[in-house]
Amino acid sequence: MRRRFLMSTVLLAAAIYIRVLHADGAGDDARNDHVRYRGPAGFQGNLWGKPLSAFAHFERDPLYVQTASSRGKTTFVDMKCVARAMTGCDLEASLQTLQQKVEGEGFHALAEYYVDAQGLQFGEPEAVLFPLFYQFCAHWGGVSSRVPQDVQEKMKFCGMRMLFRSETLKELRAHDDGHVTNYDRILRQLIGTHGEPEGYVKHGRVIIHAPGEKIEQARERRFDEWRWCSLRTDRDIAPGCQSSIVFAFDATTGWGVVLYATRPIWEFAYARHQGGAEDDALYKLLHGLGESHPVDESCTGSNLCRPGAPRAMSHDVRTLFRLPR
C-alpha cells in the first residue's frame, strides 16, 4: 500500500526523472544515429584485392582451405514481347530479346592464413580480437575442377575473420546489470567506426528516482547478431557494397566473430551451398541462418575455430596453398 501511494504521489507531483541508457553497455560516446554505412576498405592498411604474394609473416600452411564450383546464380532476367499481328507475342522473336545475368559462375577457392599470436586491440584496452584470420579468394573458369598450379597467383585479399572472447551468460551472473562485456565494447567500436547495423534498436531501461526510494527496471541481457550491408533481395548473390560486416556471439561458449566479407567470399559461400554443403557455416553466418556458431577447437573447417592443421582438402591440393619460405 505504501508503495502504491508513493508512486501516485510521485507521478502527480512530477518529482521524477527518467534516464534511458544506451544499448547494453554503450555510453554517450557511442551515439551514432542514422549514420550511413562506411564499410572497411581493407584491414590494417591492406586493401581488398591485394595479392597474397604481397603479404609477409604468415604461417606457411593456411588454417583453412576449400574449393567449390558453381553454375552461378541468375540475378537478372528480361524479355520483351515482340507483337505478332493480332495473336499476341511471337515466341521465337521474343526469345531473341532474352537477356539474363549470371553471377558467380566458375571455380572458387578460399584460404585463411594467419600470423602466429597476432591479435588486435579493438578500440578499448579490454576489447581484443584474437586470433585473426586473413582470407584470400581465387576464381577461375574452364571445365576442369583441378586446382591450377598457379592458384597462389590468383589469390587476392578478400576478407577477415576475427574471433573474440566475452562473458558467457553463466559468468554474467556474478556481475551487476551495469557490467560492460567485451561483446558490448566491440559492438560499440563497430558502430562508432561503421555506423549502426541494419535493424539496430537501442534497448534501454527505466530508472525512477523518488523520495526515499529507487525503482529500477530489470535489465534483459541480449546478444543479438548484427549485420552491416546484407543481401537486399533473394535474387542477389552478394550485397552491393564493397564489403559487408557480420557480428555474432555465442553466449553459451563465450566465443564471437567479426567477419569482413567482400563479394568473392559471398560467391564462394554460395558455390559451397549450391554444391551440396547446405550446412556450410560460412554461408549460414553470412545469411543469418542458425542461432549459434559452435567453436571447433581442432578446426575441421567450421566457421569458428582455433589455429590447427587444415584438413578440409587432400594433402596434394593443400600443398598448392602452402607459402614458400
- 320 pLDDT more than 80: yes
Return the residue matching grid coordinates 590468383. Answer: 154
3-state class (DSSP) for residue 147: coil
- Is residue 293 in a domain? yes
Closest CA to 216 of 204, 225, 201, 205: 205
Find the mean pLDDT for residues 210-235: 78
Of 121-130, 208-217, 302-311, which range is least confident?
302-311
- 6 pLDDT more than 70: no
Closest CA to 165 of 258, 40, 291: 258
- 182 pLDDT more than 70: yes
Find the mean pLDDT for residues 7-28: 29
Separation CA 34–CA 36 (nearest Å): 6
- 294 pLDDT more than 70: no
Find the mean pLDDT for residues 130-134: 93
H or E, element range at 318: helix 315-318
- Is residue 134 in a domain? yes
- 296 pLDDT more than 50: no
Separation CA 61–CA 168 (nearest Å): 32
Separation CA 172–CA 79 (nearest Å): 58
Find the mean pLDDT for residues 25-38: 50
Overall number of domains in the chain: 1
- Is residue 128 in a domain? yes
Find the mean pLDDT for residues 230-255: 92
Find the mean pLDDT for residues 89-110: 82
- Is residue 280 in a domain? yes
* Percentage above 70 pLDDT, the chain: 75
Separation CA 38–CA 41 (nearest Å): 9
Res. 216 pLDDT band, cuts 50 70 90: low
- Is residue 80 in a domain? no
Strand stretches in the chain, DSSP E = 18-20, 42-43, 46-47, 64-70, 73-78, 99-103, 106-113, 120-121, 128-129, 132-140, 156-165, 206-210, 213-216, 226-228, 243-250, 255-262, 295-296, 304-305
- 73 pLDDT more than 80: yes
Return the residue matching grid coordinates 551515439. Answer: 31
- Is residue 215 in a domain? no
Q: What is the pTM of this model?
A: 0.77
Joined together, the cell numbers standing for residue 275 give 554444391
Is 40 within 8 Å of 201 (Cβ atoms)? no
Find the mean pLDDT for residues 27-53: 77
Return the residue matching grid coordinates 578500440. Answer: 123
Mean pLDDT of the chain: 78
- Is residue 98 in a domain? no
Within 8 A by CB and 6+ apart from 195, the residues are: 32, 35, 36, 37, 38, 228
Domain assignment of residue 298, given as a range:
31-73+104-199+221-321
Residue 78 bridge partners (DSSP):
99
- Is residue 276 in a domain? yes
